[in-house]
Structure 1
Amino acid sequence: MVERTPNSVAAVADSYSFQVDLRGIVDLLSHHLYSSPRVYLRELLQNAVDAVTARAQRDRLAPTAIRITIDETGLRIADPGVGLTEADVHRFLATIGRSSKRDDLEGARREFLGQFGIGLLACFTVAETIRVVTRSASDPSAAPVEWVAAADGTYSVRALAPKDFPEPGTTVQLTPRTGAESWFAPRRVIELAREFGSLLPYAVTVESGGVVVPITDGPPVWRRDYPSQVERRAALLDFGERTLGFTPLDLIELDTDLAGVSGVAYVLAQPGNPAESSAHRVYLKGMLLGDAVRGLLPDWAFFVRCVIDTDSLRPTASREGLYEDERLSIIREVLGDRVRDWLTEIAAEQPQRLAAFLAVHALGVKAMATHSPELFQIMMPHLTFETTDGRVPLTEFARNHPVIRVTTTVEEFRQVSSTAAAQGIGVVNGGYAYDRELVALLPQLLPGVEVIDLDAATITAALDPVDPEEELALTPILALARATMDPLSCDVILRAFHPVSVPALYLDGRAARNERTRAETAIGANALWTEILDALDAAAPRAQLVLNYNSPVVRRLTRISDPDFLKTAVESLYGQALLLTHRPLRAADTALLNRAFGEFLSWATQRAAGAGEETE
């Protein structure tokens, strides 16, 4: 027994029900849950299909045709489905969020389109009133029921005489609200009905002004029989072009009935964007879920667009996307495997088809191969990489270069490619997407092949040293060149190498680039940071300007007697070597190039003027 103090107060909590502002709910649906009021017709079709499906489970001979009628009063949709009793009407139509399919959720997933019990409210985005007349097929003795709801949240229910609605089923009538009449125009209703319901398993028609327009086209094109594979392929390609709005390069049939998914993947005729996942057209048991659904395929399969029908995936509340769950993850993997299998098949049996595909989508295949060494092994003879031997497959390149060096960036490859090729050093450009990762897989697939990162010291070591006497003769020039390059954190060395058309080679590794960034940061830093950054300068690596003794241009430097002009010549060689790397120039490098160009122009002008005076 609880003893109460004099100050204690016994309180009894009252119980209340939430009050729902229907206009607020409708605003939430139209502006946040659904992408457009157009979904109202999908929700009507969905309820009708579910009702017909429920009755068909009990009576296989029951009618299934769904009729949409448009006249001056609005829109009606009639179905010969399972119908509702008066108790059902109060339970399901008047309770927001209650679904007649919710009691058996797994059954709802497999047999019915709807799950969330809010679909009928979507009609209030375009309708002022909703009138539902229904008669239950499961209880023939029950009277027909009329349920009328208004957008202000009020509704009424009354029983009708059996003669007023003699057959089981449901008719939903919408009265347009002011400003939404365009959604009830016959042409628009037909377009929406075809878009959402063309693949439904039951016949759907739209009648207006005495004209009846069929909506459904029968089974999906990929489930039809054709006299030959050629005709089947032509029909599938035509369907893809009409449905997706582009001419496919190729197609992949997705026959995965065990996963509850069927359809076709269409290969884009233009390169896709690897940074953006594909958007697909997805049907749920024949009803269009969305035409830009993402997450259906792995991210690497960005080069295909799918049209699929599924009875196993779970839609989001808006029924315009797929719910991310374990089942979707499994199906995503299954469909990804199907795309890989297709590539394997055409690589082995149809090389021309593969070549046409790779001409557009080599990047996509490389993306897939990073996730599948088995696929990479199959595709290696067909994928080309930028190397010092040109654009060649890695299988061919590995035969000539058992030790393969790979660069980190495109600029690093361009910096050394011509010189490395002349020295017989095998280098692969690893700066492009996925190339570096794929080259790293080679030792697993090609025994005896070694892959190592390219180091600037490797190139330097491969260059021939210059005879000591010849280098001694260039000591004054080298001394001036080193003094000129020192402020730019660049050393100068002399080597003999090919091609002779390259007078100077600029080499810097990752450590040297980091050091240059550190030095540039220290210039604009405060005193504390400058001291910290300067402490990191101990034995910091520097870039190298390698002068080519085999180049006639370098040898002519000995003929320059003017120290200032010699300095300009060295700066010009440095600028040319930088330009050969194709990397962005720093402000200091741009200023140096402009200064050297100006000096040469001034010298040429003075020489031309002097020659003119001598002629006179």
Structure 2
Amino acid sequence: MDRTFQVDLRGVVDLLSHHLYASPRVYVRELLQNAVDAITARRLADPAQAAIRIEPPDVTGDGTLRILDTGVGLTEEQVHQFLATIGRSSKRDDLGFARHDFLGQFGIGLLSCFLVADEIRVLTRAEGGPAVLWRGFADGRYSVTTEGQHRAEVGTTVTLVPRRDAEEWLRRRTVADLAALYGSLLPVRIEVGGVPVSGGGLPWRTGADGRRERLQEYCREIFGFVPFDVIDLSVPEAGLTGVAFVLPTPANPAARAGHRVYLKRMLLAEGAEDLLPPWAFFARCVIDTSELRPTASREALYEDSLLEATRQALGDQLRGWLVRLAGHNPRRLGEFLEVHHLGVKALALHDDEMLRLVERWWPVETNVGRMTLADFRAQHGLVRYCAQLDEFRQIGAVAAAQNLPVVNAGYIYDTEIIERLPQVEPGALIERVEPGDLTTAFAALDPGLELAKRPFLQLAQRALDRLGCEVVLREYDPAGLPAMYLTSRSAAFSAELRATRERADDVWADVLDALARTDEQDRPQLVLNHRNPLVRRVTELPDHELVRLAVEGLYGQALLLGHHPLRPADAALLNGSFLGLLNKAVGHEGGRG
């Protein structure tokens, strides 16, 4: 035998309060929604009937809150049908009106009032029918009566009897603030205690005179900043209009931006996320939409194909604004990029037009001064770049001295942008430079001189063998730099393996040894500069111990000058060479005395 489900209304209310709605304050929104839907249903017959009046407890005088509307009202049958059936999608379809004309979607809005009330009374009258009183209680009971009920005009009055712990939610100031928050843009007159809180219309649909200043002030009121610029938004298929406000200060790309979203002019969310593509973190939007779907809680947008298409369309409009700036106001574009280059560079990773904009307008750091990538290509042809900031710091000045212009691509997105250049500019030539590559730009010694210095190199190599470093003697500018420590990615990887090997247990040590053996030939280099007077003197020292200490000292200095991290072994060597040289100097002075 079939049976009917029993519903524990208190359990449903608890579910709503803890898992569906973020706050009890939504009860004001749901009451406004029902009233606006009722007015919408009546408006075709009588457009003048468009008013909602809220009377807080200090007006009613009996501790209750009342909301009165001039909407279509309900018959007794509809009261049973709509108010006593949980999950009914509302009266709009049964009354024959198009779904998109209404705010309601899920038919559970009235239940949200039980978040703040123990009893809900609905006094309603439809055209040509008697007044009907519905009384619902938080424990699931309800009653319906027409006897002794009077309401002269068509419409509905909802009365809330507050819960003992919820009186604050029904106070005049709270209700007025919430009614203004949710309903200020609604196309109906809303009053709280006789004071209007709506009727301003959509802020972006105002006259041209002073429009920008008004929108800037509107942005300051709702977001707390005066925007860098204002961008009009429109997505007809989503029934969407609105504006995007460009932040005047840098934004954290990882932070999830919050946008203000209205659904048919009723506030849906103050901090809606994922309305814009992730790269557009420099903008905050206020939009009104008629076609995007809300979630069941009506506090966010439902993720579907229309929202995805809308997100793409809004991203295209922001991109178009940037392109127009580039074409008509380069100075303004430069100001924007100074603040929000990260967002534009993020877009350039996927968008060819934005990549060309970044190449042309955003200056990058190079070892021959700041300039755009377009200017760098025009002056030098080949775009040599360091992919890491430390690499550029290590070789930038020395590479410039060898007439090798290099771009610092160690900042976020710069490497990816440079490596994308040939995809949109077929003639673009790029080459990644590593510190180890710089050795090939240094001049080799004369063969005879190199042969004469071989004994010194053998001594120097023995001094640094235990550190896995190769000693090389070259000539390069500037002559005042005695030595450079140069390494490649693979050499750095091998050095890290060796350092990890020293801390690993026997099992993992064997594994790391096997990995390290594959890169034994790729070692960092200490490149001594034969043009440096000190280096030339060191190569001629007859004292082998003094040669060792001098080479170790040059090694330590090269590490420090190149901003390389010091391993414990490096620190010990640097300390030992300093003390050894000091001891030699003291001993020499003592012997002379």
Q: TM-score, normalising length from structure 2?
A: 0.92
Map 1:189-268; keep pairs closer than 5 Å.
Answer: 189-207=175-193, 212-227=194-209, 231-268=210-247
Indicate yes or no: 2:569 matched with 1:582: no
Question: For the Cα contact (< 8 Å) 2:54–2:65, is it kept in 1?
Answer: yes
Distance verdict in 2 for CA 1:350–1:97, change over 3 Å: same
The equivalent residue for 2:153 is: 167
Deviation, 1:393, is 0.3
The equivalent residue for 1:99 is: 89
Deviation, 1:153, is 1.8
Q: Distance in 1 between matches of 2:394 and 2:94?
A: 66
The equivalent residue for 2:24 is: 37
Indicate yes or no: 2:360 matched with 1:381: yes
Distance verdict in 2 for CA 1:572–1:303, change over 3 Å: farther
Distance verdict in 2 for CA 1:561–1:198, change over 3 Å: farther
The equivalent residue for 1:487 is: 466
Question: For the Cα contact (< 8 Å) 1:300–1:364, is it kept in 2?
Answer: yes
Question: For the Cα contact (< 8 Å) 2:118–2:161, is it kept in 1?
Answer: yes
The equivalent residue for 1:11 is: none
SS in 2 for 1:466: coil
Deviation, 1:354, is 1.1
- Comparing 351-360 with 107-116, greater Cα deviation is found at 107-116
The one of 557, 561, 571 aligned to 2:552? 571
The equivalent residue for 2:102 is: 112
Q: Distance in 1 between matches of 2:6 and 2:564?
A: 66
Of all paired residues, the percent bearing the same amino acid is 50
Indicate yes or no: 2:317 matched with 1:338: yes
Distance verdict in 2 for CA 1:46–1:573, change over 3 Å: farther
Q: Residue by residue, what CA displacement relative to the aligned partner does 1:260-308 show, whole Å, maximum 9, x if unpaired?
A: 2111111112211112232111111111111111000000001111111
Deviation, 1:441, is 2.4
Q: Distance in 1 between matches of 2:118 and 2:545?
A: 89
CA RMSD of aligned residues (A): 2.6
Map 1:261-340; keep pairs closer than 5 Å.
Answer: 261-340=240-319
The one of 431, 439, 463 aligned to 2:442? 463
2:385 maps to amino acid: V
The equivalent residue for 1:143 is: 130
Question: For the Cα contact (< 8 Å) 1:105–1:115, is it kept in 2?
Answer: no
Distance verdict in 2 for CA 1:185–1:532, change over 3 Å: same
Q: Distance in 2 between matches of 1:240 and 1:473?
A: 76
The equivalent residue for 1:358 is: 337
Indicate yes or no: 2:535 matched with 1:551: no
Distance verdict in 2 for CA 1:67–1:304, change over 3 Å: same
SS in 2 for 1:37: coil
Indicate yes or no: 2:168 matched with 1:182: yes
Count of aligned pairs between the two proteins: 587
Q: Distance in 2 between matches of 1:266 and 1:195?
A: 19
- Comparing 533-542 with 492-501, greater Cα deviation is found at 533-542
Instruction: Identify unmatched segments of 5+ residues in structure 1.
Output: 1-13
1:74 maps to amino acid: T
Distance verdict in 2 for CA 1:436–1:101, change over 3 Å: farther
Deviation, 1:496, is 1.0
Q: Distance in 2 between matches of 1:584 and 1:98?
A: 68
Map 1:417-428; keep pairs closer than 5 Å.
Answer: 417-428=396-407
Q: Distance in 2 between matches of 1:528 and 1:105?
A: 77
1:413 maps to amino acid: F
SS in 1 for 2:301: coil
Q: Distance in 2 between matches of 1:86 and 1:594?
A: 95
Q: Distance in 2 between matches of 1:64 and 1:129?
A: 27
Q: Residue by residue, what CA displacement relative to the aligned partner does 1:543-593 show, whole Å, maximum 9, x if unpaired?
A: 111112222332232465554454343233223322344354434334444
Q: Distance in 1 between matches of 2:369 and 2:10?
A: 67
Q: Distance in 1 between matches of 2:188 and 2:478?
A: 74
Distance verdict in 2 for CA 1:589–1:289, change over 3 Å: farther
Distance verdict in 2 for CA 1:555–1:323, change over 3 Å: same
Map 1:398-409; keep pairs closer than 5 Å.
Answer: 398-409=377-388
Q: Distance in 2 between matches of 1:328 and 1:479?
A: 70
Deviation, 1:161, is 5.1
Deviation, 1:235, is 0.9
Question: For the Cα contact (< 8 Å) 2:40–2:101, is it kept in 1?
Answer: yes
Question: For the Cα contact (< 8 Å) 1:101–1:108, is it kept in 2?
Answer: no
Q: Distance in 2 between matches of 1:501 and 1:76?
A: 86
Distance verdict in 2 for CA 1:301–1:548, change over 3 Å: same
2:88 maps to amino acid: R
Distance verdict in 2 for CA 1:278–1:107, change over 3 Å: farther
Q: Distance in 2 between matches of 1:30 and 1:597?
A: 71
1:171 maps to amino acid: T
Q: Residue by residue, what CA displacement relative to the aligned partner does 1:451-487 show, whole Å, maximum 9, x if unpaired?
A: 1322445322111112233334433432232222222
